Amino acid sequence: MRRLRTVAVCSLLLAALVPSTAEGATQMRRLQGDFGTLPPGQSGGRIVLGFIFKNKRANKGKFTPRQLTSIGLEGVPLRCANSPGDPASSALLTTSIPARKTPRSPRQANPKPNRYSFSFSSGFSDFDGTVGGRVYKRNGRGRLLTFGNLTIRDIDFSAPGPSNCSTTGERSWSGGAVA
């Protein structure tokens, strides 16, 4: 009987010491940012980014971003040159695509040690463009913040839609976590 009690106590202690699979968990979080307004008062659109956040077993409650998984663009205005001889036009881009990892831009700062910061960059498989930015917390505390740049150099919509569309340069955005 005493041996059974010892085995039971030891197994309970072992179960308490061994971390469960939830402690090394993964979370999917969405962050969104707004582009600034354009000169005639037109909205610049919105970007929604999907990230994988993970924690370490040593830091059970501290989830940090590890990978950009999806990029959503909502109502981003584009300027279209169209075919030669056709007048220029404008279009709004609304799409959601998986992220594609690209080499880090030389302009992106290296994250400082012991700070909550994650830099990312991604290209697009359907058109010529890039998105890059950073997810961080001020002084490593508080709510998640994000900022970055989007550049679309060339996108063609299906016929008879506009062609040779771009953001006419780099578009900056900033924002935070989606509630």
Residue at token pair 């012991």: 114
Mean of all residue pLDDT scores within the chain: 80
Using left for φ > 0, alpha for ψ between -120 and 50, and beta otherwise, residue 45 falls in left
* Average pLDDT score over residue span 81-101: 86
Question: What is the C-alpha separation between 127 and 129, in angstroms, rounded?
Answer: 6
Q: What does each C-alpha distance from 98 to 44, 53, 59, 104 come to in angstroms?
A: 22, 16, 29, 18
Reading the block at residue 50, the tokens are 């999907």
Per-residue pLDDT tens for 62-84?
788 888 999 999 999 999 988 78
Instruction: Give the global pTM.
Output: 0.74
